[in-house]
Amino acid sequence: MRSFFKKRQSEPDAAVSGHAGARVLIVDDSPTELHLMRQILEKGGYQVLTAENGEAGVAEAVRSRPDVILMDVVMPGLNGFQATRQLSREPETAGIPIIMVTTKGQETDRAWGLRQGAREYVVKPVAADELLGKIRLVMDA
């Protein structure tokens, strides 16, 4: 199975940035991508929650109130754009920063994702240090 993550580079840990133990929810329908992102985040000092589709992601975000959400776009059922819009409009989840992590690299996709409520938009393949940097960026905002 093909991975959309670039080879790991140096990965600063969450303790250095003051985010040790922060909870990150990964919403992606690919077991491979979930596994790879989990490894990157756990190595970086984050607690990881996962959901395999948009519906499960919304439910998990409401239940657990993570510090950050990493959201894929192309998923069956409720896609990432729809899930992001729903989460950004609900008072109990509106303050949770969402980073879209997807293969959809067109500028129109990026603009649409940000209009739905995402704070950042990252196109796969993404390097581990870029992903961790985006998490720190939205948490420090």
Instruction: Please give the pLDDT value at position 9.
Output: 45
Q: Is the pLDDT of residue 57 over 80?
A: yes
The domain 17-140 is placed in CATH, from the list 2.30.30.40, 3.40.50.2300, 3.40.30.10, 3.80.10.10, at 3.40.50.2300
Taking the C-alpha atoms of residue 73 and residue 108, their distance in angstroms, rounded to an integer, is 13
User: Is the pTM higher than 0.85?
Assistant: yes
Lowest mean pLDDT among 2-11, 68-77, 126-135: 2-11
Q: Is the pLDDT of residue 28 over 90?
A: yes
User: Pick the residue with more confidence: 13 or 54?
Assistant: 54
Q: Where are the domains of the chain?
A: 17-140
Percentage of the chain surpassing pLDDT 70? Answer: 87
Query: How many Cα atoms are found within 13 Å in the side-chain-facing hemisphere of 100?
Result: 31
Taking the C-alpha atoms of residue 72 and residue 74, their distance in angstroms, rounded to an integer, is 6
Instruction: Please give the pLDDT value at position 85.
Output: 98
Instruction: Please give the pLDDT value at position 34.
Output: 95
Q: State the Cα torsion 107-41-14-89 to the nearest 10°.
A: 50
Mean pLDDT of the chain: 90
| Tens digits of residue pLDDT in 66-105 | 999 999 999 999 999 999 999 999 999 999 999 999 999 9
Taking the C-alpha atoms of residue 134 and residue 48, their distance in angstroms, rounded to an integer, is 16
Instruction: Please give the pLDDT value at position 20.
Output: 74
Query: How many Cα atoms are found within 13 Å in the side-chain-facing hemisphere of 7?
Result: 0
What the block records as the tokens of 107 is 């500028």
The pLDDT confidence band at residue 14, using thresholds 50, 70 and 90, is: low
Burial 86-100 (b: 16+ CB within 10 A, else e): bbbeeeebeebbbbb
DSSP class of 95: T
